[in-house]
Chain A
């Protein structure tokens, strides 16, 4: 199973492009109806789309992760049941690919590039400083649920090394001293949003 899927979809996040059915609700709209049941009905649409097709487990799981934010055991079991694949195999695939996460992600995902250029330019120090600042380890989420920290392979922005992304935003030419400031931007931004919601 793993061998064939790996051939079909090379093991990289960029290599896996899920073909989502057109009916998929956009993430912004989804937040309006964000109940557990709705998420499962949305997953059903994905499962229906791939029904009867073999070798689509990775695509389904990728879509499921988009819907739920992560892949808790229950979602894995549900996919196994609906696709008639042993749950051990589903769990095997989920734990094999670093793309999949089994714990809820923080509000923001920080990806520190560990490609050669970034590494030489001090990515390790950036990583260590972030771990220190957020009091967590790589692939963990901070206690306040704000940040998830992870390392990534080359992002292709070597000219700006060392590089990290926070969600979709790229921050380059970093040094350890910049980081507190950058984190603060997101923390304040979120505090502002919450303030707006209250009033």
Chain B
């Protein structure tokens, strides 16, 4: 019987925004009447939640369950009978009580709701046909549902220039409806606090301090605000046109790589249920678009594991700082650089998988294929807006070329497929090209929280014991608890590992490290749920998906686990393409060449970039700001 690792899971600590779990504690319930139907709901629930629990739909805009419950847009107004008088109440913040009578669709409620939406539309740049969110916009859908045909209210409108100067997120204040969902998710879930309501009344903007661009403030570029936005006010910076140009250029050899999570989320953009695996169609679609080679970032995720597992073992041997912190989430890396610079030396020096992929494509692959690296264009399909920022970092690349030329989000890829008129449903499954398309199940699970550690432990166990683990599915690592910790037994040593997702949970973990608690290895992902919850993933704005994509992360993660489970290769070190690249080119993990191509360094950025406050504080603390 082979030795199996032992795990001691500890209780869950914090849910990101209380999104997923229902309290186990028995709750007092109340009976109320909604639209003539008797409804039983836990005390303290909002009317909106009580109604939705029995399938009565009340439209809403600013509401984001557990994250933004502020009753500001007034679209969810319903009639509530209080002491014999009918009153209008915002159902998202009005708690249910025994015997309450509610009418959600009385003519008066509908009339008032229409007025509210008309008022929102009266100061909204209605460029629907040319808007990124056309047909996928919550405001548009509500206006359509309510049958608004003309807007009574005319007058002054905001006209602010579009903020479009950074490589990751574009802000159009003229489409903002001031729902403050971006602010709520940024401050309550991510705890980055970029946005705040500035000014008051008509002039009020939900914006970074001093109306600065996101590139000028301590924004981690995770894009959670983009998926929280109900309209086209916050969108990723599109680079579809540049990719079309590269594809058109006959001189260029265009290589595309797809992040592990794309295969389980792209289908959603074409109407497939959440959690549908569309790997084969994804590859086929990319070939139809004209990419010269279609590869998988899963391959370089395997490579990352080889490097990172070896780095872990080196640090456990006393070379380098512990705990080792994973570095494959660029949003998390930027968070660390801004807010916890004292942990920069703990970050793994490994580049993120897509950057490793880019570096190898322009060296190893170019050499093998006899291509001029300057003529290779690497396009990365990523679930992420932070990868756009990462690709633009000056340290990723050489003087001659950038590692990755263009990063497209899952949404942008779906748009390209639609632009090309490709019938996604009718595509026959195709396989990735070799060799950089070969990957193990370990690479696939990189896309959800806990996956990196799980994959790394599989390899670290082999490296320390020389034996393969029998058990390959560590349920303790998976799941949506915001902060997980456990002990893993390697050969002689039992190591303490932690997994955090969502930078709010990262703060919890880092504060514990600051106060002296000891861990050996931690995986941190900027987005709640990991890459499956990434800021570049499909957004549900259509009426079929009233709940926003935040609630769907675990279905996507389960699909990645199914991919891992169905693969013959499940350990990074078994990947023949990875073995080959070490034999032919890199030598061994952490070799000089591997360090040159696959590793990087980080820079402290300060909590308040752009302000030189050190000289003013009169104190000398290099980490103060």
**Which A residues lie at the B interface, using CB under 8 A?**
2, 36-37, 40-41, 44, 73-74, 76-78, 80-82, 86-92, 95-96
Judge whether A76 and B209 touch: CB under 8 Å: yes
List residues of B (166-207) whose CB comes within 8 Å of A's CBs: 187, 193-200
A73 to B216, CA, bound (A): 13
User: Is B196 a contact partner of A91 (Cβ separation < 8 A)?
Assistant: yes
Decide: B208 and A88 in contact? CB cutoff 8 A. yes
Report which of A37, A40, A88 forms a contact with B196, defined as CB distance below 8 A: A88
The 8 A-B pairs with the shortest beta carbon distances in the complex, nearest first, are: A86-B193, A92-B196, A88-B196, A91-B209, A77-B611, A88-B209, A87-B209, A95-B199
Check if A95 sits within 8 Å of B200, measured CB to CB. yes
What residues of A have a CB within 8 angstroms of the CB of B54 in the complex? none
Q: Which residue of B lies closest to A43 (CB)?
A: B616
Q: Given contacts A81-B625, A87-B209, A88-B209, are A41 and B193 in contact (CB under 8 A)?
A: no
Closest to A93 in B: B196
Closest chain B CB from A84 CB (angstroms): 9
Q: When the two chains form their complex, are residues A86 and B625 in contact, meaning their CB atoms are under 8 A apart?
A: no
Answer whether residue B624 sits at the interface, using C-beta atoms and an 8 A cutoff.
Answer: yes
How far is A123 from B46 in the complex, measured between Cα atoms in Å? Answer: 48
Q: Which B residues lie within 8 Å of A87 (CB)?
A: 209, 217, 608
4 new A-B contacts, CB < 8 A, other than A77-B209, A87-B209, are A86-B187, A92-B196, A96-B199, A96-B200
Distance of B437 from chain A, by nearest CB (Å): 43
Cβ of B193 and Cβ of A40 under 8 Å apart? no
Q: Looking across the interface, which residue of chain B has its beta carbon closest to that of A102?
A: B210
Q: How many A-B residue pairs have CB under 8 A?
A: 63
- Tell me the chain B residues, 606-625 only, with Cβ under 8 Å from chain A: 607-608, 611, 613, 616-618, 624-625
A73: chain B residues at CB < 8 Å are 209-210, 611
Nearest chain A CB to B189 CB, angstrom units: 14
A71 CB to nearest chain B CB (Å): 11
Taking a contact as CB atoms under 8 Å apart, the answer to whether B208 and A81 are in contact is: no
Q: Which residue of B lies closest to A86 (CB)?
A: B193
Given that A73-B210, A80-B608, A81-B608 are known contacts, is A86 also in contact with B196, CB under 8 Å in the complex? yes
A-B residue pairs in contact (CB < 8 Å), sample of 10: A37-B616, A40-B616, A73-B611, A80-B608, A86-B193, A87-B217, A88-B195, A88-B208, A89-B193, A91-B198
Instruction: Write the nearest CB–CB distance from A145 to chain B, whole angstroms.
Output: 23
Query: A92 to B613, Cβ gap below 8 A?
Result: no
Q: Report whether A41 and B618 are in contact in the complex, using a CB–CB cutoff of 8 Å.
A: yes
For the complex formed, measure the closest distance between the CB of A75 and the CB atoms of chain B, giving whole angstroms: 9
CB of A81 within 8 A of CB of B613, answer yes
Choice from B198, B209, B607, B618 contacting A81 with Cβ under 8 Å: B607
Encoded as 1 (CB less than 8 Å from any A CB) or 0, chain B from 120 to 160 comes to 00000000000000000000000000000000000000000
> A78 near B209 (CB under 8 angstroms)?
no
Complex Cα–Cα for A91 and B200 (A): 12
Q: Is there an interface contact between B199 and A81, defined as CB atoms closer than 8 Å? A: no
In the bound complex, how far is the Cα of B209 from the Cα of A173, in angstroms? Answer: 42
Asked if A78 and B613 make an inter-chain contact with CB atoms under 8 angstroms apart, the answer reads yes
Q: Mark B520-551, 1 if CB is under 8 A from A, else 0.
A: 00000000000000000000000000000000
Rounded to whole angstroms, the CA-CA distance of A40 and B618 in the bound complex is 9
Q: Number of contacting residues on B, CB 8 A?
A: 22
CA A81 – CA B194 in complex, angstroms? 14
In the assembled complex, which residues on chain A have CB atoms less than 8 Å from the CB atom of B208? 88
Closest B residue to A89 by beta carbon equals B196
- Quote the shortest CB–CB distance from B191 to chain A (angstroms): 9
* B200 contact set on A, CB distance < 8 A: 95-96
Q: Which residues of B contact A82 (CB under 8 A)?
A: 617
| In the bound complex, CA of A74 to CA of B614 (Å) | 12
> Which of A76, A78, A86, A90 has the most chain B CB atoms closer than 10 A to its own CB?
A86
Give A2 to B183 CA distance when docked, in angstroms.
14
The distance from the CB of B38 to the nearest CB of chain A, in whole angstroms, is 35
Task: State in angstroms the CA–CA spacing of A73 and B610 once bound together.
Answer: 10
Chain A: minimal CB distance from B375 (Å): 44
Whether A95 and B198, one on each chain, are in contact in the complex, defined by CB atoms closer than 8 angstroms, is yes
B residues within 8 A CB of A95?
198-200
A77 with B613: CB separation less than 8 A: yes
Q: B387 to nearest A CB, angstroms? A: 25
> B409-426 toward A: CB 8 Å interface, digit per residue (1/0)?
000000000000000000
Instruction: Name which residue of chain A comes closest to B612, CB basis.
Output: A74
A87 vs B219: C-alpha distance when bound (angstroms): 12
Task: Looking at the assembled complex, report how far the CB atom of B173 sits from the nearest CB atom of chain A, in whole angstroms.
Answer: 15
Chain B residues whose C-beta falls within 8 Å of the C-beta of A80 in the assembled complex:
608
Shortest CB distance B388–A (Å): 22
Distance in angstroms between the alpha carbons of A37 and B616 in the assembled complex: 7
State the CA gap A91–B194 with chains docked (Å): 11
Q: Which of A36, A88, A91, A92 has the most CB of B within 10 A?
A: A88
Q: Tell me the complex Cα distance, A88–B195, Å.
A: 6
Q: Which residues of A contact B187 (CB under 8 A)?
A: 86
Contact A92 B193 (CB under 8 A): no
- For B194, give its contact among A37, A88, A90 (CB under 8 Å): A88
Which residue in A2, A36, A74, A88 is a CB contact (below 8 Å) of B611?
A74
Name the A residues within 8 Å of B616 (CB-CB): 36-37, 40, 74, 78
B residues near A91, Cβ cutoff 8 Å: 196, 198, 209-210
Residues from chain A with Cβ under 8 Å of B198 in the complex = 91-92, 95
Chain B residues closer than 8 Å to A2, beta-carbon distance? 197
Set of chain A residues within 8 Å of B613, measured between Cβ atoms? 74, 77-78, 81
Residues of B within 8 A of A41 (CB): 618
Taking the nearest CB of chain A, how far is it from the CB of B216, in angstroms?
A: 11
Report A-chain residues with C-beta under 8 Å of the C-beta of B611: 73-74, 77-78
Could you tell me the distance between the alpha carbons of A120 and B607 in the complex, rounded to whole angstroms? 50
Q: Is the CB of B197 within 8 A of A92?
A: yes
Instruction: Tell me whether A81 and B196 are in contact in the complex, defined as CB-CB below 8 angstroms, given that A74-B611, A90-B209 are known contacts.
Output: no
Instruction: Note all chain B residues with C-beta closer than 8 A to A44.
Output: 618
Q: In whole angstroms, how far apart are the Cα atoms of A81 and B608 in the complex?
A: 8
Query: CA of A36 to CA of B198 in the docked complex: distance in angstroms?
Result: 27
A81 near B195: Cβ-Cβ < 8 Å = no
Q: B617: which A residues are within 8 A, CB to CB? A: 78, 81-82
Which of chain A's residues have a CB closer than 8 A to the CB of B607?
81
Report the bound CA distance from A86 to B207 in whole Å. Answer: 13
With a cutoff of 8 Å between Cβ atoms, the chain A residues found around residue B193 in the complex are: 86, 88-89
**CA–CA, A171 and B210, complex, Å:** 36
Please report the C-alpha to C-alpha distance between residue A40 and residue B608 in the assembled complex, in whole angstroms. Answer: 17
A19 to chain B, nearest CB (A): 24
Q: How far is the CA of A88 from the CA of B200 in the complex (A)?
A: 15
